[in-house]
Homo-oligomer: A and B are copies of this chain.
Amino acid sequence: MADNVRRSVVLRRRPGGEPRHDDFELVDDEVPTPQPGQVVTRTIWLSIDPYMRGRLWDRKSYAPPVQIGEPMTGETVGEVVASADPAFQPGDVVAGARGWQSHCVSRGTALTKLTRGDAPLSAYLGVLGMPGTTAYSGMKDIGQPKAGETVVVSAASGAVGSVAGQLAKRAGARVVGIAGGPDKCLWVQETLRFDDCVDHRVPHLREALADACPNGVDVYFENVGGAVQEAAFSLLNPFARVVMCGMVAQYNESEPPPGPNLGFVVGKRIRIEGMIVSDKPERFAEWRALASPWVSEGSLHYRETVIEGLENAPGALQLLLRGGNFGKMLVRVGPDHA
Nearest-neighbour CB distance to chain B for A24, whole angstroms, equals: 23
A117-125, A198-206, A251-259: which lies at the B interface?
Answer: A251-259
Task: Indicate with 1 or 0, residue by residue over A251-277, a CB within 8 angstroms of chain B CB atoms.
Answer: 000001111111111111111111110
**B contact residues around A267 at 8 Å (CB):** 54, 61-62, 274, 276
Q: Is the CB of A260 within 8 A of B258?
A: yes
Once bound together, how far apart are the Cα atoms of A333 and B245, in whole Å?
52
Instruction: Name the contact of A263 in the complex, choosing from B238, B247, B272, B279 (C-beta under 8 A).
Output: B247
**B contact residues around A247 at 8 Å (CB):** 262-263, 266
Q: A244 at the A/B interface (Cβ < 8 Å)?
A: yes
Q: A246 at the A/B interface (Cβ < 8 Å)?
A: yes
Chain B residue nearest to A260 in the complex (CB):
B259
Once bound together, how far apart are the Cα atoms of A257 and B244, in whole Å?
22
Once bound together, how far apart are the Cα atoms of A246 and B262, in whole Å?
10
Once bound together, how far apart are the Cα atoms of A257 and B257, in whole Å?
13
Q: A314 at the A/B interface (Cβ < 8 Å)?
A: no
Task: Indicate with 1 or 0, residue by residue over A229-257, a CB within 8 angstroms of chain B CB atoms.
Answer: 10000000010000011110010000011
Q: A225 at the A/B interface (Cβ < 8 Å)?
A: yes
Q: Is the CB of A262 within 8 A of B62?
A: no
**B contact residues around A259 at 8 Å (CB):** 258-262
Number of chain A interface residues as a range: 20 to 34
Instruction: Name the contact of A265 in the complex, choosing from B244, B250, B257, B268 (C-beta under 8 A).
Output: B244
Within 8 A of B (CB), among A7-44: none
Q: Is the CB of A266 within 8 A of B261?
A: no
Q: Is the CB of A275 within 8 A of B279?
A: no
Nearest-neighbour CB distance to chain B for A59, whole angstroms, equals: 10
Once bound together, how far apart are the Cα atoms of A279 and B271, in whole Å?
14
Q: Is the CB of A272 within 8 A of B272?
A: yes
Task: Indicate with 1 or 0, residue by residue over A306-336, a CB within 8 angstroms of chain B CB atoms.
Answer: 0000000000000000000000000000000
Q: Is the CB of B260 within 8 A of A62?
A: no
Nearest-neighbour CB distance to chain B for A135, whole angstroms, equals: 14
Once bound together, how far apart are the Cα atoms of A54 and B263, in whole Å?
11
Nearest-neighbour CB distance to chain B for A234, whole angstroms, equals: 13
Q: Is the CB of B269 within 8 A of A273?
A: yes
Chain B residue nearest to A60 in the complex (CB):
B267
Within 8 A of B (CB), among A259-309: 259-276, 279
Task: Indicate with 1 or 0, residue by residue over A153-185, a CB within 8 angstroms of chain B CB atoms.
Answer: 000000000000000000000000000000000
Chain B residue nearest to A241 in the complex (CB):
B273
**B contact residues around A260 at 8 Å (CB):** 258-259, 262
Q: A62-B267, A62-B269 are in contact. List 14 more A-B contacts (CB 8 A).
A: A229-B262, A244-B266, A244-B270, A247-B266, A256-B263, A258-B258, A258-B259, A258-B261, A265-B274, A269-B275, A269-B279, A270-B273, A271-B272, A271-B273
User: Would you list 10 pairs from A and B whose C-beta atoms are within 8 A, ordered by A residue?
Assistant: A62-B238, A244-B262, A247-B263, A256-B261, A262-B272, A265-B274, A266-B274, A269-B274, A269-B275, A271-B273
